Amino acid sequence: MSDGNKSAQAQRLAERAAQALCANDTTSRHLGIRLVEIRPGYARMAMLVRADMVNGHHICHGGMVFTLADTAFAYSCNSYNDNTVAATASIDFLAPAHEGDELTAVATELWRTRRNGIYEITVTNQRDERIALFRGRSYRIDGQLVSVE
Protein backbone atom coordinates (compact mmCIF):
# COMPACT_ATOMS: atom_id res chain seq x y z
CA MET A 1 0.00 0.00 0.00
CA SER A 2 1.35 3.44 -0.90
CA ASP A 3 1.94 6.14 1.69
CA GLY A 4 -0.94 8.09 0.23
CA ASN A 5 -3.27 5.13 0.62
CA LYS A 6 -2.07 4.52 4.17
CA SER A 7 -2.68 8.14 5.05
CA ALA A 8 -6.17 8.08 3.50
CA GLN A 9 -6.93 4.89 5.43
CA ALA A 10 -5.73 6.44 8.71
CA GLN A 11 -7.92 9.47 8.03
CA ARG A 12 -10.92 7.25 7.27
CA LEU A 13 -10.34 5.34 10.50
CA ALA A 14 -10.10 8.57 12.52
CA GLU A 15 -13.45 9.68 11.05
CA ARG A 16 -15.15 6.38 11.80
CA ALA A 17 -13.77 6.29 15.35
CA ALA A 18 -15.04 9.84 15.89
CA GLN A 19 -18.49 8.85 14.63
CA ALA A 20 -18.54 5.92 17.06
CA LEU A 21 -17.59 8.21 19.95
CA CYS A 22 -20.22 10.78 18.92
CA ALA A 23 -22.97 8.18 18.79
CA ASN A 24 -22.66 7.48 22.52
CA ASP A 25 -21.36 10.78 23.82
CA THR A 26 -24.50 12.16 25.41
CA THR A 27 -22.52 14.63 27.51
CA SER A 28 -21.10 16.43 24.49
CA ARG A 29 -24.48 16.44 22.80
CA HIS A 30 -26.20 17.99 25.80
CA LEU A 31 -23.52 20.65 26.04
CA GLY A 32 -23.71 21.41 22.32
CA ILE A 33 -20.07 20.46 21.70
CA ARG A 34 -19.48 20.03 17.96
CA LEU A 35 -16.69 18.17 16.23
CA VAL A 36 -15.23 20.54 13.65
CA GLU A 37 -12.23 18.59 12.40
CA ILE A 38 -10.68 15.21 13.07
CA ARG A 39 -7.36 13.75 11.91
CA PRO A 40 -5.12 11.04 13.32
CA GLY A 41 -3.86 12.49 16.62
CA TYR A 42 -5.77 15.74 16.14
CA ALA A 43 -9.24 17.11 16.92
CA ARG A 44 -10.88 20.51 16.80
CA MET A 45 -14.14 21.05 18.68
CA ALA A 46 -16.38 24.03 19.38
CA MET A 47 -18.88 25.00 22.08
CA LEU A 48 -21.06 28.03 22.68
CA VAL A 49 -21.06 29.20 26.31
CA ARG A 50 -24.73 29.02 27.24
CA ALA A 51 -26.56 30.55 30.19
CA ASP A 52 -26.50 27.16 31.94
CA MET A 53 -22.67 27.03 31.82
CA VAL A 54 -22.07 29.99 34.08
CA ASN A 55 -20.83 29.75 37.68
CA GLY A 56 -21.22 31.75 40.88
CA HIS A 57 -18.80 34.43 39.66
CA HIS A 58 -20.88 35.06 36.48
CA ILE A 59 -18.21 33.51 34.24
CA CYS A 60 -18.10 30.23 32.37
CA HIS A 61 -17.70 27.37 34.87
CA GLY A 62 -14.17 25.95 34.78
CA GLY A 63 -15.73 22.52 34.56
CA MET A 64 -17.36 23.44 31.24
CA VAL A 65 -14.08 24.72 29.78
CA PHE A 66 -12.42 21.53 31.01
CA THR A 67 -15.17 19.38 29.51
CA LEU A 68 -14.72 20.96 26.09
CA ALA A 69 -10.94 20.47 26.24
CA ASP A 70 -11.31 16.94 27.62
CA THR A 71 -13.67 16.04 24.78
CA ALA A 72 -11.18 17.25 22.17
CA PHE A 73 -8.55 15.23 24.05
CA ALA A 74 -10.75 12.11 23.89
CA TYR A 75 -11.41 12.44 20.18
CA SER A 76 -7.75 12.99 19.33
CA CYS A 77 -6.38 10.11 21.42
CA ASN A 78 -9.07 7.72 20.18
CA SER A 79 -8.44 8.64 16.54
CA TYR A 80 -6.34 5.49 15.95
CA ASN A 81 -9.40 3.38 16.79
CA ASP A 82 -7.86 1.89 19.96
CA ASN A 83 -10.03 2.38 23.06
CA THR A 84 -8.16 5.02 25.01
CA VAL A 85 -9.06 6.81 28.25
CA ALA A 86 -7.66 9.73 30.22
CA ALA A 87 -5.24 8.83 33.00
CA THR A 88 -4.56 12.35 34.17
CA ALA A 89 -5.09 15.90 32.99
CA SER A 90 -4.15 19.40 34.04
CA ILE A 91 -5.55 22.73 33.05
CA ASP A 92 -4.36 26.32 33.37
CA PHE A 93 -7.09 28.93 33.27
CA LEU A 94 -5.70 31.99 31.48
CA ALA A 95 -8.74 34.22 31.02
CA PRO A 96 -12.44 33.98 31.82
CA ALA A 97 -15.01 33.02 29.20
CA HIS A 98 -18.46 34.59 29.24
CA GLU A 99 -21.98 33.66 28.23
CA GLY A 100 -22.29 33.94 24.47
CA ASP A 101 -18.61 33.24 23.80
CA GLU A 102 -17.84 30.68 21.11
CA LEU A 103 -14.99 28.49 22.38
CA THR A 104 -12.75 26.32 20.24
CA ALA A 105 -10.51 23.53 21.54
CA VAL A 106 -7.67 22.25 19.39
CA ALA A 107 -6.02 19.00 20.46
CA THR A 108 -2.62 18.00 19.15
CA GLU A 109 -0.48 14.99 19.98
CA LEU A 110 2.80 15.67 21.76
CA TRP A 111 3.93 12.09 22.25
CA ARG A 112 2.64 8.57 21.88
CA THR A 113 3.85 5.06 22.62
CA ARG A 114 1.99 1.78 22.32
CA ARG A 115 -0.02 2.39 25.50
CA ASN A 116 0.53 5.99 26.59
CA GLY A 117 0.07 9.37 24.98
CA ILE A 118 0.35 13.05 25.87
CA TYR A 119 -1.92 15.59 24.24
CA GLU A 120 -1.95 19.37 24.34
CA ILE A 121 -5.26 21.20 24.07
CA THR A 122 -5.60 24.95 23.64
CA VAL A 123 -8.97 26.61 24.22
CA THR A 124 -9.57 29.97 22.54
CA ASN A 125 -12.57 32.27 22.16
CA GLN A 126 -14.06 33.93 19.06
CA ARG A 127 -11.41 36.67 19.23
CA ASP A 128 -8.67 34.02 19.23
CA GLU A 129 -7.78 34.89 22.83
CA ARG A 130 -6.50 31.94 24.82
CA ILE A 131 -8.88 30.87 27.60
CA ALA A 132 -7.13 27.73 28.85
CA LEU A 133 -4.22 25.38 28.28
CA PHE A 134 -4.94 21.71 28.92
CA ARG A 135 -2.57 18.76 28.94
CA GLY A 136 -3.78 15.20 29.11
CA ARG A 137 -2.11 11.84 29.50
CA SER A 138 -3.97 8.97 27.87
CA TYR A 139 -3.87 5.25 28.48
CA ARG A 140 -4.90 2.63 25.95
CA ILE A 141 -7.21 -0.08 27.25
CA ASP A 142 -8.40 -3.22 25.47
CA GLY A 143 -10.67 -3.18 22.46
CA GLN A 144 -11.37 -0.96 19.48
CA LEU A 145 -14.09 1.55 18.70
CA VAL A 146 -15.10 0.24 15.29
CA SER A 147 -14.38 -3.05 13.58
CA VAL A 148 -11.82 -2.98 10.78
CA GLU A 149 -12.25 -5.31 7.80
Q: How far is the CB of 70 from its own copies (least distance, A)?
A: 5
HEC readout, 90-132 = EEEECCCCCCCCEEEEEEEEEEECCCEEEEEEEEECCCCCEEE
CB-wise, 7 or 88, nearer to its own copies? 88
Q: How far is the CB of 6 from its own copies (least distance, A)?
A: 24
Q: How far is the CB of 17 from its own copies (least distance, A)?
A: 9
Distance of CA 96 to the CA centre of its chain: 20
Cα–Cα nearest to 103, from 56, 58, 69: 69
Q: How far is the CB of 4 from its own copies (least distance, A)?
A: 27
d(CA 119, CA 77): 8
Binding site for its own copies (CB under 8 A): 20-30, 51-59, 61-64, 66-68, 70-71, 74, 78, 83, 85-94, 96, 110-111, 116, 118, 130, 133, 135, 137, 145
CB-wise, 8 or 94, nearer to its own copies? 94
